[in-house]
Each structure stands twice: as C-alpha cells, then as structure tokens.
Structure 1
Amino acid sequence: MTKLNRRTFVLGGLVTAGASALPVGARAALAAGVTPYPFTLGVASGDPDSSSVVLWTRLAPSATNADGQGGMPNANVAVDWQVSRDSTFGTLVASGTVTAQYASAHSVHAVAGGLAPDSDYYYRFRAQGYISPVGRTRTAPAAGTTGRDLLMAFTSCAHYESGYYTAYRRMADDNPGLILHLGDYIYEDAATAGSVRQHLGAECVTLADYRRRYAQYKSDPDLQAAHAVAPWIVVPDDHEVENNYASNVRADNSPALTAAQWTARRTAAYQAYYENMPLRPTSVPSGTSIQLYRRLLWGKLAAFHMLDTRQFRDDQSCGDGTKVCADADSPTRTITGATQEAWLLDGLGQHLATWDIIGQQVFFARHFTADGAGSMDAWDGYRASRSRIQQGWVDRAVRNPVVLSGDVHRSYANNLLADYANPASKVIGTELVSTSISSDGNGSGSTTIPNGASNPHVKFYSDRRGYVRATITASHLAVDFRSVATVSEHGAAATTTRSFVIQDGQPGLVNA
C-alpha cells in the first residue's frame, strides 16, 4: 500500500502542525501496518543569522511512549529537508539530507545555509514516505545593515498542568518575525490531581522521563503553531532540570538522589533539552555541560546577548532561594560565572547594534518584598554581580541596554537605576519581564504594583498569563504587554494590558 505522503492543515494562513487525530488516509495506513506518521511533534526553526537558520523536527509516531523513543525503532533514519521562498515549494533555495539517530531520539538539527539576509522562508521535512507540516522562518539582516523593523515576542514558564497554551496561539496570531523563550519550557514535576491537564509519569529523573515530558508538551497544537510561525531563540531556566538548582547543587532533595544520580539527571536533562530545541550544533551537550550563552546579531538593529544563569551561579543564599542572607551582598558572588560575565561585558563594549538586548531568565532589577527582602534565586541574591554588569554597560557607554526576563509568572516593566537605594538615581536601562504562558493558572488580573513604595522603579505589573510583544526599530522600541483572561479554559482572546516606548538613546519607559 502507498503511504500517505502529507498531513497538514492551515492555521491563520500558515501551514502548520497539529496534535489532532490523523486524517482518514493516515488511519487507514496505520490499520494496514504501514509505517505511521512520524511528524507528530511539528517543526521549528531557531538561532537565525544573516545566511542560515537551524531547522528542527523529531520523528515520534507514538510521541509519549514511556521509553522516550516516541515509537521509533532502534535504527537511524534519513530525513530530507527543504527550504523555499513560498509555501508551495515550487522552487527550492536550499535542501539536504540529515540522519535522525536513535541515540538522539530521532531529533533533527539541520543548518540550512546559503540563504539571503533579511528574508522570509518556508521549510519542511520528508521521512519514511511522509511530508512534515510547513514552518516559516526568517534570516537576520546582513552585517552593517538595519533591515526591516522587527516584530519580536518573548515569554517563559509554560506549566502544562496549570492551563492551556492559548498565549502561544495568540503569539502566533501576531505573526512575529522572532520569538524568544526565556526558560521553563517544561516542568519536571509529577502529575498533580485536580490540574487542568495532567503530566504523564512521575517526576523527571531519567533521559526517558525528560524525552517523554518534552513530547507531551510539544504535542500541544498551540505550541506547535508558535514554533511554526517564526524562528525561536531559547535559553532554559531551572525546571528543565530541577526547581531552583544552582550549578551542581540541588535545591530540592525530593526525590532523594545520590551524587552520581544527580549528575546523571543533569546529563539527561541537558541532552533532552538539546534534542528538543532548535539549537545549533555548538550547543550539543557534553555530560553535565551545555553551551547556552551566545550572541546573535540582527544586523545593526539589535544584538541579542543570551545568558545562562543556572550552570555557573553560586548557590542561592540560605540554599533554598527564598530567605534573606547577608552574603547576598558578598562582592564575590556571581549568577553568571566570571567567564560569562566577561564575555557579556566584552560584547556590550563592542557597540554591535542600536539595541543591546540581554535575554535571560530571572528578575534583574531590585525587587523588594514587604519585609524588605528580595528573591535569593533572582539577581537580588547576586547584587554584586548585577552591579558589575550595570556599571559595566555604563562604563562602556552602551546606548540602549534592555534586559528581558521571565520566571516570576507576572508582567513587570522596570526602569533600571544606577542606585536602587535612591529613587531619584539616574535611569541607566530598562527591564521587561514577561508573565508565564500558563504557570500559576489564570491569575487575579491585578495591576496594582506589589510593595510599590519599596519599588518606585517598577512602572507596571499585571497578574495574568501571556507574553510581551515588541516592535524594534532604529528609533524606538515599542512594547505591548499581552494577556489572556483565562488558561483554565481554551481559546481566550488576547488583549494589550499596557504599552510603553523606549526611545533610542533615552533609557527608561515612556507611556505609549
């Protein structure tokens, strides 16, 4: 019997992937014992530069099998990839064949090169007689050119059990040119009774556990739509491994693990992260190490400095990241490690673009709670580290430093001050904090800044789920905080809760 060679559907004008039931023809093929459809996890692209982009997929006909192999046999599989200027693929501009290996859960990371700068493309894969859904991607402008304005979206924290991924769908509806994900793409915890949706399996510890968890998350059609609409730049936070871990130190001792088991867990978590993200081969992990901090240039419009605030940080003060300890002010404490800090400051000092955008995981500005404390898991637990970086960009006359953050499941807009103890201190940068996709459920809808008197540099707060949309131009950065009213039910509309503008050469937030 001839295999079905295509399974796609059209969403918002773009051919993309879904997790809905197979078409009649595919069901017939399955019944006849023909190789089942392998592209159940959709497609993605990422880490674009001016001439290339990473194309990703993973073959997984039975995606959430407990062994983590997605129903694929113990054999390598040839996968063709194609890139075209149009979604019909009448003319190919690039193509090739890669091997999806059993040892890598049949994940594919194809670097499509020879592309034109500042251009839109469509891509797809072929394997085992089937054609994948179609994704759209985009290259960066050429070095020294500004190119088109860039519509960017960024977000974080997508706890599957806490609600539906409506915000991913609304992000796709906005048709961005680039998406940043700042961590907690998955959560490692076991199923919880009474959740909106339930995790499969126990808490993730083994490679099979993490692979299965990624497969469950990536089976979601709203997440697939967001991946298919634009290239992504990703960095993980803690839940891709374990809540609040710091370097090689556990923050959560449940389940109990020996030192060797903890090492094996981190190794498995990094391996599964790479397998499931559109990362370049430079990020292939080696044991408990994975190269994640990196710099991506969007012509001379924007330089994206992506940080890793987990692998190299000192342990949180008091260990659990929630209490206040005097050593938070120790001049030797670091959240980035010395090498990454020097790398960041060197890149900022090169003045590579109009906008220097620091994409990272945890709250950057001072964020005092009612008792005068701050989160020891965020930059408040590493104040000398924050001071060195802020003073570093001041000393280097960085024109437009903008920090992007996630983690706290709330939206914030912050002016960054030279001295947080002095509310009248000079504004030297801006921080935009995205709320979560679903973590913490629907939220209260409050826009009252918590402990506002202690945090006068905080200019906006919202307790809803959603994302941040930003239009980056040579003269300004226009920011919209987007939110959905509910994630406990599927399909809510997105609204703009608040808008700001950051003007070129004028750090700080201006009401739009």
Structure 2
Amino acid sequence: MTERRLSRRTFLQLSGVSSAALALGVSAPEALAAAADVEVPDGVFGLGVASGDPASDGVVLWTRLAPQPLAPDGHGGMPARPVPVRYEVAADEGFRQIVRRGAAVASPELSHSVHPQVNGLEPGREYFYRFIVGRQMSPVGRTKTLPGAEQTAAGFRFATASCQAWYHGHFTAYRHLAAEELDAVFFLGDYIYEYGITAANLWRAGASVTPEHAVEIQTLEQFRLRYALFKSDPHLQAAHAAAPWMVTWDDHEVQNNYGADGSRYGVSPEHFVHLRAVAYRAFYENLPVSLAVLPAGPDSTVHRRFDAGGLARFHVLDTRQYRDRPPVDVDDQYADERTLLGPDQEAWLYVGLVESNATWNVIANGVTVAAITEDRTDQWDGYPANRARLLAAMRRSSNPVVLTGDIHKHVAAELKADFADPASPTVGVELICTSIASDGDGAPTDAYTPDWVRHPYVKLYDGRRGYVHVTLTPDEMTSHFKIVPWIEADADAPLETVATFVTPAGAPGLERLA
C-alpha cells in the first residue's frame, strides 16, 4: 500500500498547490488585504462562514469565496487569481470591542478557501467574527474557546450530527440546532454523499439540480461542487455560524463503505488512492479544520484531541483510513490482530484515555461500537478484537462516552464489558445520532428495529431525523434525543424530544427521564 501512495511533494506538484498558498491561506500580512478596491463578483460569501477546532486560546475560522456556488466547473464563480481576505474577531456581536484582526489569501489552488488560525483569545468565552473582501462583508459568526486547563467548567453543551444527504430532504434539524446556545458541535461523518443525484433519489420537495450532479463523484472539481451544493443550504450555514465544529469523516466523503485504500466497488487500489487524495483535499478546503488536517496526497491526520478544562476530554477518531480489509470469514473476523483504527491511532487513543484527568472522556467516532449483529462488518462488529481492546482502555478511564453517527437512527446503548453476557459490567455509554436528512422522513420503527431492541443494553431506537443535545457537568451527563417529524416536504417541521437520559458521573449507564 505504501508504494502506491503519492508523496506530499508529488501531490502538491500535481495539484498545483504551493507551500506559499497553504501558508497564506492561514495567515498573511494584514496590509496585503487592506485595500477596499479588491475586484471580485458580488455575493462572494455565498457559502457562509464557520469556525472549528477550538482551543482554550484560539480557534480556526473558515470561509470559501463563491459568488456562484453551483457554477458547473466547481470554482464557485471566482476568478483564477488569489484574493486577499481580512477578518475581525470581537468580544461583542456589534463589533465595538474588536480583539483580533488579521488576513489570509484565498487562492484558486485551494478553491478560494481560507483557514485563519486565531490565537491569543481568552479561555471559555464567546466571540464573534466576520470576513471582509474589498467592500463586501460576510455574515457574522459566533464561536467559543474551550475552558482552560485549570478551569473546571460548570457545564459544557454540545450537539452531535451526521449524515446529511441534501437530496433526501430539508435540513430542518439544523434550523433548530442553530437556535441552541451551544459550546460546540461534533459532526460524525457523511458531510456529503458521492452518489449521482437523479430523479430517483431527489426527495427534497422544490429542489432541482443540473446534469453535472447526476454522476458519481470522481474528480476534485466534482467534490468541490458537491460540497457547495450541500453547503448552499441556509440552515447548515446557520448551524456553522452558531458554534465551533469538530468534524470527522465516515465513508461517503470518499466512497460508500471504503476502508484504507480499498474500494468495495471494484476501483483498483492504484486509482482509489487518487480518489481518496482529491476527496481528502476537498474535505480540508470546505470545512473549518486546522492546517494539520491538510492531506499529504491520500493521507490525512484527522484524529485529534480537544480538552475542555478539567471537565471533558474529546477524542475525535478516524475509523476509515487505517482499518483492515473486511473479514473473509468468521475466523478472520475474530482474529486478534485485526484493527479498525490502525496500530498508531489505537495507541494514541488508549494513552489519551488512560492518562486523562478529565471528569468525562468522550470519543467522537464514525461507526457503531455496541454489538448488534455479526454480519454488519463495516461497524465495530467487524472488528471484535479491536473493540475488546477499546473497552479495556475505556474501563481504565473516567466516565467514558462514545458519540456515533452513520446508521440514520437515534440509538442510546450501554457498552458492556462482555456483550454476550448482559449482566456483565457497564463500561460506558454510546449516544448514536440519527441523520440530518439521509433516508428521508424516517419513522419511529423500521425493518431494522428488531436487530437492535432485542439487546437489553439498547435503551432507545428511533428512525426519524434530528440530532442529539448533550450537557456535561461535573456531576452528570444529560442527553436529549431531538427529532423532527418530517423533512421531505419542507423545512417547517417542529422540534420534538423523543427521549432524555441521565448518566451520573461515576455510574455508567442510561437512566431514562422521558
């Protein structure tokens, strides 16, 4: 596999990205962007603004200049030249107390995206930001820094979301999520889908697409266009502007059910690493992630860690890039050496769990950990030895919690030391969020319900759309599973709470309140 991979230098040469473009996309001399007569088309902030990867003293800001987001060539209607961009960060929404100013350069090599890293902020507080290009000003975004290392936060509120197939319905859940006062949003994978959009799968009432969307994505320009289509949704833009996001991927950012450099659809490994390279590049260009996530060819370091003072440590995982091939039989499936995370990421995670002094240790992960059925080998069920190692490390940490997406269902489950023995100790809990839009309206129960609810450690199953709202305090975790009754017809559905659970600190489990 190593021999087939492109080197960082080779990939940058092939793609036309210079080191200067990368650096200037993060930070540039402010004088470079000071001119008010920068010539760009009107509506340059057509994809909104975002922030992400927060720390106690800073955050990554993001925008991608695109006055015509759905231009068929994937370039967003921008001229093929660099454009200087200014930004401002303020302590108040009216920008009377501006605390940071800076600049970056939006280059065509990176689809005119910028990722300025803002440092020197105060821990655990709210800020507002905006971008300026010439005389055009972006919408205002809200962000928050994480609590400092010595702080014990009274509470930390976040939401989890995943699986947003734009063509299956309206992003109604994001309309409600954007109204929540959150400290962060964790996105758990499937930000886009690679499938061609046709009359057969376009269920979003009132929507239409042009022919270039009808093909399965293969090129960098097609990935850029697909991100632009999804990000054109106003409710997704509002959710990005409401709080900082910590993002990981699952499979559809590249191809359904892929693993490492292996395609499930007959694409040769030699071609697939090129597909993965352009997919990972588009992921970086379109999301508020730090420069550390920028891929080197088909390789990208997405697993990373965030500390919210002494209250919580968040471990964001990559469950696609390093996994072993699908098992060939049951003996292979249960082989001790099989790994979903890869040896290096496994070691990194276990050390981070065991050495953590945080009250809560939260793992943001792409696929279901709880044992459900052996034939679902794309989930952790396909890697039981790796799951056993994970659970052993979780038992040595404080109050472990797993956040998951992928399955388009709300599920709350207790993680057992031995899933074959329901009476075995509960190690932690898993909160699985349903999709934002994938699979359309959904229903409380479906054909898969019996597979899940037959397990006594599964405490909730609901197949409608929505998100999970979680509040952590030093004493307990409260998880609200939010749903909207419909998404295909329009974006007007109300928000409902289908279930609420409390998990006391020091007593892993799920106590249902409603």
Superposition TM-score, scaled by structure 1 size = 0.89
The aligned counterpart of 1:264 is: 274
1:467 partner amino acid: Y
1-structure distance, mates of 2:345, 2:402: 16
The aligned counterpart of 1:380 is: 381
2-structure distance, mates of 1:393, 1:486: 37
Kept in 2: contact 1:111–1:280 (CA 8 A):
yes
Alignment of 1:66-145 (within 5 A): 66-145=72-151
Kept in 2: contact 1:449–1:458 (CA 8 A):
no
Question: How far off is 1:454 after superposition?
Answer: 4.1
Report the more deviating stretch, 300-309 or 450-459: 450-459
1-structure distance, mates of 2:40, 2:286: 26
Q: Deviations over 1:28-80 (max 9, x none)?
A: xxxxx973221000000001110000000000111111221111111111100
Other structure's SS at 1:164 match? coil
1-structure distance, mates of 2:283, 2:189: 11
1:343 aligns with 2:363: no
1:425 partner amino acid: S
Question: How far off is 1:452 after superposition?
Answer: 5.3
Question: How far off is 1:353 after superposition?
Answer: 0.9
The aligned counterpart of 1:424 is: 423
Selected match of 1:293 from 296, 303, 309: 303
1-structure distance, mates of 2:375, 2:178: 34
Alignment of 1:26-105 (within 5 A): 35-105=41-111
Selected match of 2:372 from 357, 364, 367: 367
Question: How far off is 1:453 after superposition?
Answer: 6.5
Kept in 2: contact 1:180–1:233 (CA 8 A):
yes
Alignment of 1:86-485 (within 5 A): 86-194=92-200, 195-197=202-204, 200-253=213-266, 257-318=267-328, 325-368=330-373, 373-394=374-395, 396=396, 398-446=397-445, 449-451=449-451, 454-485=454-485
2-structure distance, mates of 1:123, 1:280: 17
The aligned counterpart of 1:498 is: 499
2-structure distance, mates of 1:68, 1:483: 33
Other structure's SS at 2:74 match? coil
Divergent runs of 4+, >6 A: none
Question: How far off is 1:352 after superposition?
Answer: 3.1
Kept in 1: contact 2:336–2:385 (CA 8 A):
yes
Other structure's SS at 2:483 match? strand
Other structure's SS at 1:502 match? strand
2:481 partner amino acid: F
Question: How far off is 1:87 after superposition?
Answer: 1.4
Kept in 2: contact 1:52–1:115 (CA 8 A):
yes
1-structure distance, mates of 2:409, 2:327: 23
2:380 partner amino acid: W
Other structure's SS at 1:173 match? coil
Question: How far off is 1:201 after superposition?
Answer: 4.1
1-structure distance, mates of 2:275, 2:453: 43
Percent sequence identity over aligned pairs? 43
Question: How far off is 1:135 after superposition?
Answer: 0.4
2-structure distance, mates of 1:459, 1:359: 20
Kept in 2: contact 1:366–1:374 (CA 8 A):
no
Q: Deviations over 1:103-128 (max 9, x none)?
A: 00000101111111110000000013
1:376 partner amino acid: T
Question: How far off is 1:401 after superposition?
Answer: 0.3
2:401 partner amino acid: V
Question: How far off is 1:306 after superposition?
Answer: 0.4
Kept in 1: contact 2:124–2:144 (CA 8 A):
yes
Q: Deviations over 1:377-424 (max 9, x none)?
A: 000000000000111222x3x120000001000010000001111111
Report the more deviating stretch, 39-48 or 485-494: 485-494
Other structure's SS at 1:461 match? strand
1:385 partner amino acid: N
1:235 partner amino acid: T
Unaligned runs of 5+ in 2: 1-38
2-structure distance, mates of 1:34, 1:206: 26
> What RMSD in Å do the two structures reach over aligned CA positions?
1.5
2-structure distance, mates of 1:259, 1:46: 32
2-structure distance, mates of 1:155, 1:423: 29
Question: How far off is 1:150 after superposition?
Answer: 1.3
2-structure distance, mates of 1:289, 1:100: 23
Question: How far off is 1:258 after superposition?
Answer: 4.5
1:499 partner amino acid: T
2-structure distance, mates of 1:258, 1:511: 48
1-structure distance, mates of 2:357, 2:180: 28
Kept in 2: contact 1:434–1:466 (CA 8 A):
yes
Question: How far off is 1:326 after superposition?
Answer: 3.4
2-structure distance, mates of 1:328, 1:452: 21
Kept in 1: contact 2:261–2:269 (CA 8 A):
no
2-structure distance, mates of 1:497, 1:248: 39
- Give the number of aligned pairs: 466
1-structure distance, mates of 2:158, 2:459: 21
Other structure's SS at 1:282 match? helix
2-structure distance, mates of 1:452, 1:338: 30
Kept in 1: contact 2:452–2:461 (CA 8 A):
no
Other structure's SS at 1:227 match? helix
Other structure's SS at 2:345 match? helix
